[in-house]
Structure 1
């Protein structure tokens, strides 16, 4: 990409979108185009079409989406499938109309079947049933991947898709009612430390294994994929290629936070899938690899939490 190229980041205030903005600015890209949801409603086709036809960006990072935890996905199923379908369909179609040749679409690892062989390869897509709790969201993301693929084949665009593993980092959601596991553990450990508790309760058995990627590494991968002109199509897993047990994760969080109590596992709460690890060999063979290890990343995330949520 040229340093003066006009680059539209959809969803620039979210965790991934804001990380992409930071990455682009650090790399010297200065002509960045952003709009808040109050300025541009991506679910409205005419607004999106008018905006992209007027601005005609050279590149688009498609990080806008309605997202949430298991409870939200399972409760607001119609909202999740409708809003995400509308957002991606409007942006992808209007981008083609506006002559945008290059786009990166952000998906989620929940697109893969519930009972996948491990590690999960890109070609496992559509080979089995999805996890029911977030099936509407997953179907919408699969539709986005297929939209990109179809526009590439019919119209010669170069829209690629990136599927991240579990992300964490600056601008994460720390609301215990709907946050994901890592930010929830950070907040719970911090509050237990402040209260002087002797124990720290973690859902489930602690045995499931999960993979975690710092959002700055995710943004780095997105920029890498966009800058590879030879990559004009396809789906790429983005992760570290390694995983840890929830027990190991909780222990690392406790160490970073400085909470010296004991872990108590609440076996009445579900474990979820025993293991969920992405095969990231396709992206690594192109020359990209994650650089932020888990303990370092958790320390960075905790510092951000202290600044934004704990008055630090």
Structure 2
């Protein structure tokens, strides 16, 4: 119950209400849009980055006032892998803080009832106890290769929590593990590890290459969640969860980078050898999320890693000529 007397107890959302998905063309946003469409939502809106620059505060406020959404999912962000985060920390910090602040402030100004802010598992300390619980936030040092991005996402969590405290609105934050799927960034220099590996092994398979060389040692452990599972979790949280703490979204299990590389090689049909360039950084040794809170809210992942990779490789091959660099 909010301070204005309105009952915000979670329940089935209004399928006729305006639902704004910020970042609706990206990996997560496009999956959320597909999930909302399949659930019967009739008025899902969004703008591409060329149509609406979310870093432009006046433009964001004007758009939000125009559409007057009842629900908002903030899936828009500047994202990238270790190389991009290490090379352009100012961009990752500044762009993301501006995007988040503009969208959340505009949502508050226009009385948006329910908001989900999407963060990242990199918000947690580099050496947080595994699996990582939500209360590990701000208990230790961040991974240096993406600390600027992590700080921006932490600011978004605090912004969401502050709206709850000051205005009593049932806004929530969800922290996904490593995501993959259709509309991912497969750039060889700007992508995360899984799409980068898909591109690398697919190109090697087509070229008949005898050797693929990957960064690091292959020993770090990572958890991967298909974007369609993430989208399903977001809708479930909107209809079943209302709490101040961010909610981890993942599978509850992880694999080594070497194991994921082996699986991708098999799915792509690559027959050559794999080597590891140990002069390159590994990043955090392990990032496995504790998903107890999500399980208690009644949701678990459904798409296996093997199935998800097969679907993603098929999508990549169907769209390889039109992918962003």
Range of TM-score over shorter length? over 0.9
Shift of 1:292: 0.5
Residue aligned with 2:21, SS: strand
Picking from 267, 272, 275, the partner of 1:256 is: 267
Picking from 288, 291, 299, the partner of 2:299 is: 288
* Cα offsets for 1:85-129 (capped at 9, x unmatched): 111111111111111121000001111111111111100000111
Question: TM (normalized to structure 1)?
Answer: 0.95
Tell me the distance in 2 between the aligned counterparts of 1:140 and 1:279. 22
Tell me the distance in 2 between the aligned counterparts of 1:299 and 1:101. 38
Tell me the distance in 2 between the aligned counterparts of 1:24 and 1:175. 28
Q: Is this contact kept in 2: 1:74–1:134, CA < 8 A?
A: yes
Picking from 72, 79, 91, the partner of 1:60 is: 72
Shift of 1:293: 0.5
Question: TM (normalized to structure 2)?
Answer: 0.92
2:49 counterpart of 1:37: yes
Aligned to 1:128: 140
Picking from 87, 90, 96, the partner of 1:84 is: 96
Aligned to 2:17: 5
Shift of 1:202: 2.4
Tell me the distance in 2 between the aligned counterparts of 1:100 and 1:207. 44
Aligned to 1:25: 37
Tell me the distance in 2 between the aligned counterparts of 1:89 and 1:272. 28
Which stretch of the first structure deviates more once superposed, 266-275 or 146-155? 266-275
Q: Is this contact kept in 2: 1:113–1:129, CA < 8 A?
A: yes
Shift of 1:232: 4.6
Tell me the distance in 2 between the aligned counterparts of 1:204 and 1:254. 17
Shift of 1:263: 2.1
Q: Is this contact kept in 2: 1:96–1:157, CA < 8 A?
A: no
Question: Please, which runs of 5 or more residues in structure 2 have no aligned partner?
Answer: 1-12
Tell me the distance in 1 between the aligned counterparts of 2:55 and 2:211. 45
Residue aligned with 1:158, SS: coil
* Cα offsets for 1:65-104 (capped at 9, x unmatched): 1111222222222222111111111111111111112100
Map 1:137-156; keep pairs closer than 5 Å: 137-156=149-168
Map 1:163-178; keep pairs closer than 5 Å: 163-178=175-190
Residue aligned with 1:263, SS: strand
Consecutive aligned runs of 4 or more in structure 1 exceeding 3 Å deviation? none
2:135 counterpart of 1:117: no
Shift of 1:39: 2.4
Shift of 1:261: 2.0
Tell me the distance in 2 between the aligned counterparts of 1:270 and 1:43. 31
2:120 counterpart of 1:108: yes
* Cα offsets for 1:211-261 (capped at 9, x unmatched): 111111111111111122x51533100110000111211111111111122
Which stretch of the first structure deviates more once superposed, 100-109 or 127-136? 127-136
Q: Is this contact kept in 1: 2:160–2:173, CA < 8 A?
A: yes
Q: Is this contact kept in 2: 1:107–1:141, CA < 8 A?
A: yes
Shift of 1:210: 0.8
Question: Please, which runs of 5 or more residues in structure 1 have no aligned partner?
Answer: none
Aligned to 1:233: 244
2:316 counterpart of 1:297: no
Tell me the distance in 2 between the aligned counterparts of 1:56 and 1:260. 53
Which stretch of the first structure deviates more once superposed, 188-197 or 261-270? 261-270
Picking from 283, 286, 289, the partner of 1:272 is: 283
Residue aligned with 1:68, SS: coil
Aligned to 1:93: 105
Aligned to 1:198: 210
Residue aligned with 2:185, SS: coil
Aligned to 1:162: 174
Q: Is this contact kept in 2: 1:10–1:62, CA < 8 A?
A: yes
